[in-house]
Structures are given as C-alpha cells and as structure tokens.
Amino acid sequence: MVTVYSTPTCVYCYMVKEYLKGKKVDYKEVDISVDPKAAKWVYENTGYMATPVVGIGDTVILGFDRPKIDTALRDAKLV
C-alpha cells in the first residue's frame, strides 16, 4: 500500500503523484490540510509538518526522493 500525504498547493506532491502514475503504482492520496489526524501522523512520523510524505509499506519518505521511493517500492514488491 502506498499513501501520499499532500497539500493542494505542493508542487513536489504533484511530482510524486505523477512519478508513481508513470510507474503504474496505485496510491492513496491524503490531504493533510483538511485531515487533522493525517497531519498529526505526518508530524509524529517525520518530525516535520511538511509534504509530500510517502508511505510505502513500513517505510516513510519525506519529500520527493526518487532513489528512496524506488528502493521502497522494490522492497515492497510493488514494481
């Protein structure tokens, strides 16, 4: 399961979602600007109130970090 925690005005969030679409990876998007529980989860798991945050299995990635995303996708056997 891949979850992208994002906000509507985040350019890097858009880039992450397009990157995952390009790899044909299904994901769930959660807008932390309207979901306080998700915002709290992001802060508790990253130490930051920032987006994008990508959850892939048990891996949490802050920002649009292609190498980390690719590794996590491979480890989760999603690509």
CB atoms within 10 A of CB 5: 27
Residue 79 has pLDDT above 90, yes or no: no
pTM over 0.85: yes
Which among 1, 9, 7 is positioned nearest to 53, based on CA atoms?
7
Summarised one tens digit per residue, pLDDT across range 5-42 is: 999 999 999 999 999 999 999 999 999 999 999 999 99
- What superfamily in CATH does domain 2-75 come from? Glutaredoxin (3.40.30.10)
Taking residues 47-69, report their average pLDDT: 96
What are the residue boundaries of the structural domains of the chain, listed by start? 2-75
Taking residues 59-63, report their average pLDDT: 96
